[in-house]
Amino acid sequence: MGDFLLMGFEYAEGRHSDLSPGSPDLVTMAATLAELASWECPDLPVLPVEKRWAHCADGPDSLATITGSALVHADLTAENVIIGDRPWVVDWAWPSRGAPWLDAAAMVARLIQAGHEPAEAEAWAASVPAWRAAPPAAIGAYARLRASLAAARGAPIAHAWRRYLSYLEGERNL
């Protein structure tokens, strides 16, 4: 018997999360990311982030900063978290293995895109323990990588990543 792909589906009652400033969903999102960051990646053929994004990294040193053994969603958006009787993280098209803080870092750019100032978005991320443990230089390397990826794809999030990078390089001096 050859290789096969198994997909499972479950209906999740709810609505997309709201990332706008002042949204009550921000507390739920932080708790969800804290839990997600604690999950070890299962022993499955999941692509490590250093391979997934090698083509847009500054080099091997920047890739080394994002490696890890956590299960990483790698594409969290407001639409990928359904708020219902509990939060549901959906659309796992890019499951990856990497540093446990990567999804929180990506959410910083999503919050900026939703109208938060970069400092506010980072203050929100500080409620996620894995984020607080992330080396600042690693966050900068990851932001450069994701900004490069978004720009290459012409993705709307590219502007938020550029804005975050300007903040990191200016106010945070990374």
**Residue 24 CB burial class (10 angstroms; 0-12, 13-18, ≥19):** exposed
Along the 174 residues of the chain, how does pLDDT read in single tens digits?
467 666 778 888 999 999 999 999 999 999 999 999 999 999 988 999 999 988 888 888 889 999 999 999 999 999 999 999 999 999 999 999 999 999 999 999 999 999 999 999 999 999 999 999 999 999 999 999 999 999 999 999 999 999 999 999 998 766
Q: How far apart are CA 168 and CA 72, in angstroms?
A: 23
pLDDT for position 105: 97
Q: How far apart are CA 75 and CA 7, in angstroms?
A: 18
pLDDT for position 44: 86
Q: Which of 148, 113, 106, 150 is nearest to 128 (CA)?
A: 106
Answer for the pair 113, 122: CB distance below 8 angstroms, yes or no: no
